[in-house]
Every structure is written in structure tokens, then in C-alpha cells.
Chains A and B, each alone.
Chain A
Amino acid sequence: MGKRVLLIEDEPNIIEAIRFILSRDGWTVETHADGATAVAAVDRKCPDVIILDVMLPNKSGFEILRELRAMPDHASRPVLMLTARGQQKDRDMAEAVGVSHFMTKPFSNTEMLDVVRRLAADASGQDDGHG
């Protein structure tokens, strides 16, 4: 069974692009567009990798990540943060709340794919014993 990605993003065209790139590589891509219920969606789906946008309706990506990190189940779950806000303070903020990797939009497709693969591999290496 292929690995699963949860894409939390609200721009339809960006969702379509990422879904295309990842599914071609054998990933199962699930999406979620609303900030307020994103944490619950992660809790339900327990994806291998999360791709998280920052400017989401109702709750920001930073906030979601902060909440996730406070939950034992998701404290070390790989999160790739993708954002159109590329200023240094945004990057600092992402680091502060515990991001696994930070990328600005627009991104290179291959680079994004590499990061997702690497995050998944790191995680499975770490969690070996648990399966």
C-alpha cells in the first residue's frame, strides 16, 4: 500500500497540481480545505506526510501546526509547510512551531516531491519498530 499525504490547502488549482505530481509518484493524496477542522482531519486520517498551507480560511497554518505538535500522536508527524508568504519572519515562525520543512510558493515540482519522499523515509526510519 502506497504512502498517504494529507494536503491542507484551499486553492483548487494548486491542489490539482500537487495531487497530479504526487499521485504519479504512487502517493495517495487526500485533501482538506478548511482551517478550523484541519486538526480533526489529521487526527482522523493519520497521514504519513502533511502538506500545510499557511493562509487558510478560519485558522492559519501556524495555528494548526502548533496544535498538532501539542498532541502526542502528531508531535513528530512530518509536516511540509508551503506558503505564498515568503518573508523571513514567516520562516522563523514556522520553525518556532515545529515545522519539518518550509517551502515558499511558487515551488519546483521535483524539489517538492523530493522533500515529501525524504520526510516520509525519515519518519519510517524513526518509527520502524511501530510499523
Chain B
Amino acid sequence: MLRFNILVLVCISYATLLFVVAFWAEKRAEAGRLGWLRSPLIYTLSLSIYCTAWTFYGAVGYAVRSGLEFVTIYLGPSLMMIGWWWILRKLVRIGRTHRITSVADLISSRYGKSTTLGVLVTLLAVIGTTPYIALQLQSVALSFAVFGVNDPSGAVLPDLDKTALWVAAGLALFTSLFGTRNLDANERHHGVVTAIALEAVVKFIALIAVGLFVVWGLSDGLGDLMMRIDASPVAQHPIHGTRWIALTMLSAVALITLPRMFQVLVVENSDESHLFTAGWAFPLYLFGMSLFVIPIAVVGLEVLPAGSNPDMFVLTLPLHFDQRVLATLSFLGGFSSATSMVIVASIALSTMVSNHIVMPIWLSSRSGGAMVSGDVRGVVLSARRLSIFGVLALGYLYFHFSGGSEALASIGMISFTGVAQVLPAMVGGIFWRGATRVGAIGGVITGFVVWAYTMFLPSFGPAAGYTAEFLAQGPFGLTLLRPQALFGVEGVDPVVHAISWSMALNTVVFLVGSLLSFPRPVERLQGAEFVNVFEHSGSARSWSHGFAEAEDLLVMAQRILGPVEAQNLFQSEAERQGKEGYLPDTTPAFIERLEREMAGSVGAATAHAMLGQIAGGVFVSVEDLMAVADETAQMMEHSSQLEQKSVELARTARQLREANEKLTALSIQKDAFLSQISHELRTPMTSIRAFSEILREAGQTGDMDAESLERFSSIIHDEAQRLTRLLDDLLDLSVLENGQVSLNWARANLHDVIDRALNASSEAGGGNGLVVRRNELSEHIAIETDPDRLAQVFINIIANVRKYCDAETPVLQIHVRRTPDDRIQIDFIDNGSGIAKDKQAMIFEKFSRLTDHAKAGGAGLGLAICREIMVNLGGSISYLPGQGGAAFRLDLPRVRARD
């Protein structure tokens, strides 16, 4: 027999393997080398989280109790997948176009970004999914216990409760590590998906292996098996037509409404064409998973001692025959089924909870709305992590208090029916433009209440007040309201009763509510967008009437997307528009793009609200615009064409004007440069000449005290030095500008170069109490550059901070980052008042000193030289707006580019 502690070891090794695989996939994704990780195969395998422990272990138990009925659980989703063209394709397209992050987001977005609906669907999903998570914890705990009981030493009897707690904690750790690593705009989790794809393979192989063992190890091949099946009580169960239809439809619906299925099916989908493969491969997978259920059930009933739990046959059969390897494999299969479901479910739920409950509360608790200080990104991440732990804690508590005695299948069915209540609002929303928010809210609430009353609460039995008397008499003796014979419909199977009543009433209220209410403009526009998604994918609402400062948008985007992502986004947009720096024009297209990116982090409704505050000024104006758009579509099209033309014309005119200004500026620049040089040379010369004349005269008359003599000579000396420095700088600049500079390329540690610069500038600049904050660990990067020249740039920037940072206690932050394309970014950010927007463009020009001469003490060539050095080193220096103080970003290749 297998030792229990060996099993624990196997289990921990397997969990470690999952961590390693997830980490490896994340790394590859970060490096942009996804390759086959982004293939239809992985997509199909990730869908297999449909098969939880309920299907892995529970299907056999289901077959023992109800015969062939378990097939409905596989049949429904197979039909849905085969018919992917009709519903799934539309869901995936809408999901991609509108950056939908969850079921709640889909429904909230469709009905005018309704917060109420977002919260409702989220609550429904959490309540519907919690028992299901508890079920998974229970099955893992049970399977451990099966091994414990069978341990030859007999001493180990693991505590079910403790096992469940450990498993829940481990899963929470894994999920918060890989489920919230970054707030990617499209919410994809490559690490998690790869790990669950691996788990899909493991559980498939495990179940097939147990099946083969049963057919050819415990029976004499297929012929023998068929006879045993015929003789078995499993084959005696009659088939109930209505139950079959209801359950098949319910499972089909579950495929699109279960939060975890929506996550892998829609949110994690990276390519619509993957659906095509999954359309035949996933049913095939399900077929494989169901193939040996009946044989295992039949043989298990026959050979295992009476009273064995049929839900554990997959595990107890190999154990009974002392097949250690097979039993371990089967255990891992069950473990995989349970863990992959819990991981994805908690990611999906945490996204909903944080986007639809935590974030709206957080935002509304801040009076300033979106423009508040503080890091939204940090709040989102913490909200996600807390939600993950919260969801798993709920699952564990449910397991703890429910005692975990119900048959696996019934919990699954309750959960399916609960989440299926979003179906009318979902399908109605993507196929029927007339569907309204009022209808959707009414439908969901009705379905939810009926489900809770007829199915969810009864599952708690007398504890929830569902005594036999209550079931027979109804509440307050109202027989019409008997939970299992609603409105006097008697003699129906309780499951079918609950499914049909909840769905029917839900749908009726949804339809009637939609027909009787009038949609708001936003709803109508979103409705048109969703229903006709194939006609105009990509063109979301127009922002053409917005006015926004790019810098304001950048400040906000940095808080939500994180500084690096936001800056990259803005820079790439600026580049696309043919502008330098980080501030693109705030074109409608750009704001739209920004909204989509932000929607991935905070949800569509919140992103829209935040942008609306900055770009649109007020909500109402946008809505009004949309109302007009919806009603007079033709006029809108015409005027939008005109508008686009005039925008284009304005842009062309501006580009011409800018080009002209540039040309004029160039010719003026040459004059100005000479005149500047003249001024910079003459100023020190004036002092030199004046004092040398004074000294000469004093030499003739001999009437000057020693102190003045010394003072005047040292002024002459200092001014002569200043002249020399100026000439050096000018020569340096001219050599750098002409590209004739000889660089001393060498390998160096970036950290040492920064150290050197800090030392040099603290010697030169004296201690004015500048505090330098740096992350020294991140600076240890081997680079190939001209270390002296690079240090010269650093020294210059640091000297500028010392000179110009006007904060009471000046603080300089140095951030070093290595980008995926092997470049280094070094940000120098101080806490002063920064550089005025209209001056930012000219600071890198020669002689551009922003303050008075006396304070600067240089000729204003420093940053010009820095820029030339960086260009020579193959990099660049730019002013980074929106950082709170003056901020410079250096960008350079980590190793010298060879040509």
C-alpha cells in the first residue's frame, strides 16, 4: 500500500511543478516569446476547467445513482462548442472589442455601464460559485483521507478540515501570485493558463488510465465488460426525458455563464480563430473524459465492498487492487481538476469583486473622483489580492460549516442553475437591441430569488428553515408558494422544477421589463454596438467632442496602468502621430485607445467615468451626443465625416505651421547662437579687463591693501577659468554634434557609474542636503558604454537638481529599469516644482538657461551636451512630464549596437 507521506510529497512536488511552469510561461510572455503557448491547443486545454473534481470523481457517483444521466453534463457544452459560430463567436468578438473582463463587466457594459447590474451579477457569481469552490476543497480533502485510511501504518488519519484549509491557502497563494502579477490591459494570464493546460493533460491521462485498467485489467476486455454492464444496477435506471432536456440545456448555458468558463473562453482568448479548433477538439476532450465513466461505475459497484462512496471509485478502485502508481496518477488527476477550477474561478471572481464592488466604492469615497492623489493601480492590485483570499476563505468556510456531506453532483447542479440566471440578460443583450437595463435588473433579481427559494436554500435543509412541514405547506400556509411545487405545479422533479421556474420567470420579467421601459442613450448605443458587433468592430463611442490636456491624461493613466505602461503607451502614440516626447495630441482615436487600455485595469464603466471627467468635462454632454447619434444615424455619419475632414485639415495646417516655425527658428538659431557665444565670452572678459586695469593702476600708485589685491586677482582667476570651461564645453559640443568624438567603449556596472557620478557631484556641489533615493539592487546591470561620458551626463543632471530643485528638502529619485528589448532606462526625478510646460521643449537647446545667470553659473550648455552624449551612446534623453517634479529619462542600449 502507498504510504501517506509519500503521497504528500508527490502532491507538493506536483504543486511546485505547476509554480515553475506558470513562472516560466509568464517569463516567456514578458519577453514576448509566447510561440506555441498562444496556440489553439492551449486554448482548448484551458477550457477543460469545465471538468472539475465534480466531473473527475463525481461523474462515476452520478452514474451509480442515476445511470446514463451524467452524460447531459458533457452533452450540453459539446453542443454549445459545436455551435460556436452562433453565440461563442459573438461573445468573444464583443469581449475583445470592448475589453470585457468578466461576465459582470459584459452585462454592465451592455446596459449602459450600469453599476447596479455589475454589483448584482458579481454577487450572484460569488454566491453561486462559493459552494462549488467548497466542493473542490472537499474532494481534495476526501481523496487525501482515502489514502490516509489505506495507509498500512494505519496511524495517519488526516483531518479533513485542516487539509481543506491548507489546500485553500496554497491555492490563494498561487492565484494571487500569478493571477495579479500585472494589470494587463487585456487581462490575460499566460502563466495560469499554461499551468491549467498542463493540469488538463494530467487529469485526462489519469482518467483514461483508470479506465483502461478497469476494462483490460479488471475485466476481460470489451465483450466481458458489456455483459457486466448489462447485469449491473447502473443500467437499470430509467431515462427521464424532461430531466435530460433540462440538464443538457443547463450545462450548455453553464459553459458561457460560469465566471471561470467566461474567463478562459472569452477573456483569455487571444485569437478568435482558436474557437474553430476548440469547436471540435473540446467536445472530443469531453468525450474522452466520459468514455470510461460507466465501466468504472459498474466494476466499482461489483468489486468494492458495499457502502463504498461511489464518488471516490476513481481513486478507491486502483487502491483496492494495490496499483500504487495508478492510484497516485488518479489522485493527481483529481487534484488537477479541483485546483485548476478554483484558481480560475477565484481570478474571475476577484476581477468582478474588485472592478464592480471595491473600485466603485473606493472611487466614490474620494470626493475628487478620478483625479485624486494616490496610486489607483496599487488599490486595484490590493483589491484583487484581497478578493482572491476572500473568495477562497468563503469557499473554505462553506465547506467547514456545511460539513461537506452532500453528493458532489447536487452542489454542481445548484451552482450551474444559480449562475445561469444571467443568461437572459446576456443572450438578450447581444441579440436584441430592445433589451434594457430595467429588464435586465428585474430578470436577474427575479431569477436569483426564485433560485435561492427553490434550490439554493433548500440545500441547507432544516438549518435554513426548510423543514418537511414547510415544504408541504408553504410559507404561512400559502400552498401556492411551496418551494418545490410553486404555483401548484406538483409532481415535477425538484431540479427540473427549480430550473424551469427560475429561468422562465427570469426571462418573462426580462422581456416585459425591457418592452415597458425606455433605454437611456448610452444603453441604446451600447446595445447597437453589441448586437451589431460584426459590422463595426473596433469603433467604440466617439470622443470627438472632448477636450483634454495630454499631461492630465498621462498623470491619470500612470496611476491606473502603472508608470511604465502608461509612458510607453503615450510615447508610442506620440510616435505614431510623428511627435517627439511623451505627449501625443489628444485625438478622439487616442482617447478611445486609452479608454480600452484602462478598461482592462478598472473595468469599462470606471474607465469611462474617469476619462469622462477629464476629457469630456461632464457626462451629460457625451450622452446627449450619443442620443443624437442613435436617433439620426445618417446625419451623424455625414457630420462625422465632415468633422473628421475638418479635424484632418486642422491637423495638416498645424503641421505646416510647425514646420514653418521650425525652419524660421533654424535660421534665427544660427544668429542667436553667435550672439549668445559673444555674450557668454564677453561677460567674463569684462570682469577680467576691469580688474586687471584696476590692478595695473594700483601697481603704479601702490595704494591698495593686500586684501583687495588678493580678492581682485582671484576674481580674474575665476573668470578666466569660467572662460576656459565655456570654451571646453563649446568644443565638446561641436565635436559631439559632428559625430567626431572618440568614445571609450568599455564594460561597466551601471551601479558603479551612478556611484561615481553621485560622489563627484557631491564633492563639486557641496552638501545642500540633497537626499538621493535609489534601488541599488536594480542598478547592478552590466552595460557596455563609455562610462566616463555616461557619468558626465549623470553628473550634469544631478548638478542641475542641486541648483534648481526648489523643494524644502530636495529629494532625487533614481529608477533603473531594463526593458524587454534589452535597453536601459534611467529616470532621475526630483521633488521640486519641475519645468513649466512651455519650457520643456527648449531645455535641451544650447544656452537655454531658465533662471538668471548668477544662480546658474554655467553657460546653459549642460543639457545640450547631455543630449549629444546620449545620441552618441546610441540613446536619448528626454524630459518626462507629469512626475511631480523635474524628471529626466535616459534611454540607452545595454550593449553597444554593432553594425
Contacts and interface: CB of A to CB of B under 8 A. Distances in A.
Contacts of A104: 682
Given A11-B854, A12-B854, A16-B715, A108 B678 contact: no
Interface in A60-112: 84-87, 104-110
Contact of B679 (A18, A33, A34, A55): A55
A17 interface: yes
A107 B851 contact: no
A10 B853 contact: yes
Interface in B712-727: 715, 718-719
A84 B689 contact: no
Nearest to B711: A16
A14 B686 CA distance: 7
A108 B719 CA distance: 17
Nearest to B696: A109
B851 to A, nearest CB: 7
A10 B678 contact: no
B218 interface: no
Contacts, number: 70
B682 A105 contact: yes
A57 B853 contact: yes
B361 interface: no
Interface in A1-51: 10-14, 16-18, 20-21, 33-34
Contacts of B683: 11, 14, 84, 105
B50 to A, nearest CB: 72
Given A11-B854, A13-B719, A86 B693 contact: no
A106 B679 contact: no
Nearest to B680: A84
A115 B691 CA distance: 19
A11 B690 CA distance: 13
Interface residues of A, number: 25
B659 interface: no
Contacts of B694: 17, 20-21, 109
B685 A105 contact: yes
Nearest to B855: A57
A85 B718 CA distance: 22
Interface in B648-704: 675, 678-679, 682-691, 693-694, 697
Given A55-B853, A57-B852, 19 more contacts: A11-B683, A11-B687, A12-B854, A14-B683, A14-B686, A16-B715, A21-B690, A57-B853, A85-B675, A87-B678, A104-B682, A105-B682, A105-B685, A105-B686, A106-B682, A106-B688, A107-B686, A107-B690, A109-B697
Contacts of B851: 57
Given A13-B719, A20-B694, A109-B693, A86 B682 contact: yes
B853 A106 contact: no
B678 A17 contact: no
The 10 closest A-B pairs by CB, nearest first: A17-B690, A84-B682, A57-B852, A106-B689, A13-B687, A105-B686, A106-B686, A84-B679, A109-B693, A106-B685
Contacts of A107: 686, 689-690
Contacts of B684: 13
Contacts of A108: 689, 693
B854 A10 contact: yes
23 contacts: A10-B852, A11-B686, A13-B687, A13-B715, A13-B719, A14-B690, A16-B715, A17-B691, A17-B694, A18-B690, A21-B694, A33-B852, A34-B852, A55-B679, A57-B851, A84-B682, A87-B675, A87-B678, A106-B685, A106-B689, A108-B689, A109-B690, A109-B694
A33 B678 CA distance: 21
Interface string B376-412: 0000000000000000000000000000000000000
A57 B691 CA distance: 24
A85 to B, nearest CB: 6
A84 B693 CA distance: 18
A54 B688 CA distance: 19
A108 B686 CA distance: 9
A11 B715 CA distance: 12
Contacts of A110: 693
Interface of A: 10-14, 16-18, 20-21, 33-34, 55, 57, 84-87, 104-110
Interface in B843-879: 851-854
A108 B718 CA distance: 20
Given A11-B683, A33-B854, A84-B683, A106 B678 contact: no
B841 to A, nearest CB: 20
Interface in B489-537: none
A55 B683 CA distance: 11
A13 B853 CA distance: 12
Nearest to B697: A109
Contacts of A84: 678-679, 682-683, 686
Nearest to B716: A13
Nearest to A110: B693
A43 to B, nearest CB: 22
Contacts of B693: 108-110
Contacts of B685: 105-106
Contacts of A86: 678, 682
B853 A17 contact: no
A108 B693 CA distance: 8
Nearest to A90: B675
A86 B678 CA distance: 8
A34 B679 CA distance: 18
A12 B679 CA distance: 16
A103 to B, nearest CB: 10
A14 B690 CA distance: 8
Interface in B768-795: none
B887 to A, nearest CB: 25
A44 to B, nearest CB: 21
Contacts of A57: 851-853
Contacts of A87: 675, 678
A84 B677 CA distance: 10
Nearest to A13: B687
A30 B715 CA distance: 21
Contacts of B715: 13, 16
A86 B681 CA distance: 12
A20 B708 CA distance: 10
Interface in B127-181: none
Contacts of A12: 854
Nearest to A57: B852
B370 to A, nearest CB: 38
Q: Which of A16, A17, A108 has the most CB of B within 10 A?
A: A17
Contacts of A109: 690, 693-694, 697
A107 B689 CA distance: 7
A19 B436 CA distance: 84
Contacts of A85: 675, 678-679
A113 B748 CA distance: 58
A9 to B, nearest CB: 10
A13 B697 CA distance: 18
Contacts of A10: 852-854
A116 to B, nearest CB: 14
B715 to A, nearest CB: 5
Nearest to B718: A13
Interface in B22-42: none
A104 B678 CA distance: 11
Contacts of B686: 11, 14, 17, 84, 105-107
A110 B697 CA distance: 11
A11 B854 CA distance: 6
Nearest to A54: B679
B806 to A, nearest CB: 16
B52 to A, nearest CB: 74
Contacts of B690: 14, 17-18, 21, 106-107, 109
Contacts of B697: 109
A113 B495 CA distance: 111
Contacts of B682: 84, 86, 104-106
Contacts of B675: 85, 87
A43 B322 CA distance: 109
A85 B852 CA distance: 17
